[in-house]
Structure 1
Amino acid sequence: MPFHWPGAVHRSSTATHALAAPALSALLMASAMKHFRDPGFFRQVVPDYLCRDDGDTPAAGAPPAARPLAVMTREEWIALSGLVEAGAAVGLLIPATRRTTATGVAALFGVFVAGHVDAVRRACRPEGSSTQRAVHMARLPLQMPLILWAWSLRNAGRRPS
């Protein structure tokens, strides 16, 4: 069976895309709800350099001035990303906003790679546990299929020219 690149036009692309947008929307909504039900699940994926001092030890003892991107607490970042994912879940279901939303979701998943890389880096330190290493090493490679999935929805329902 030949491999078809996501978004490539072939006979089953209409059927595939008819299910792909609602499926990614459901995944995003489930993740958004988890952000509020179990924010601790996402805690280690938010890089220290993005977080104001919220009781955590700053990255490598860095003073707040050394973290110019630290505009919110870790909990605020988790809540904001949950809200963004919920909005994206809705946007993927609306044909008129699907292309823009899918582009944004692909970019969002791309940005999440930095958090996953940072989580792997911290888990591989001596204070990291083998469980943390295993979890974060498994979560990091999942970002590429998610990025490709979102990107493939940019042309969902469009007829080839």
Structure 2
Amino acid sequence: MNKHKETLRVILAISIIVVGVTHFVVPGEYVKIVPPQLPYPLGLVYLSGFYEILGGIGLLVPPVSQAAAWGLLALFIAVYPANIYMAANLIKIEHIPNSPWVHVVRLPLQAVLIAWAWWYTKSSVGEKQASKLKIF
């Protein structure tokens, strides 16, 4: 795995662990953005926080990092409705400006997180083989 990809993997892992911890420290902020159609909002906040922490730790452990990346990718997709609900209803979250523009920017950011996690679902063995096949 190249040095930049490795550095970005660690950044993603640490970032998602920190976000996961905040689900337990300030769960009420996350409960606000759980769409009302979903049952047990506090339980869902704790569950998503647990899986964020687990996925972040997993990214740091080479034997399971690929599986952890798949799990985070699925989690990022699963929580996207909360981001849509937050944007559609202009829900104020502490430390995040409550502006329609901020919400508009945050929605595509989730796609960046999905792509970022997807990048680590690929085997580094395949990358090594592909780098040997470079024509130029």
- After TM superposition, list the pairs within 5 Å mapping 1:2-151 onto structure 2: 14-51=2-39, 73-123=40-90, 131=98, 133-151=100-118
Q: TM-score, length-normalised on structure 2?
A: 0.78
Unaligned runs of 5+ in 2: 92-96, 131-136
Kindly indicate which of the two structures has a greater share of residues assigned to helix: 2
Percent identity of paired positions between Structure 1 and Structure 2: 27
Deviation at 1:50, TM superposition (A): 0.8
Alignment size in residue pairs? 123
Query: Larger Rg: 1 or 2?
Result: 1
Q: Which runs of 5+ in 1 are unaligned?
A: 1-12, 52-72, 125-129
- Which 10-residue stretch deviates more, 98-107 or 78-87? 98-107
* 4+ residue runs over 6 A deviation: none
Question: Aligned partners of 1:160 and 1:113: how far apart in 2?
Answer: 35
Give the alignment's TM-score, normalised by structure 1.
0.67
Cα distance in 2, alignment partners of residues 18 and 120 from structure 1: 32
Give the alignment's Cα RMSD to 1 decimal. Answer: 2.2
* CA-to-aligned-CA distance 1:60-97 (integer Å, 9 cap, x gap): xxxxxxxxxxxxx2111111111111110111111111
Q: Which has the higher contact order (CA 8 A, sep 6+)?
A: 1
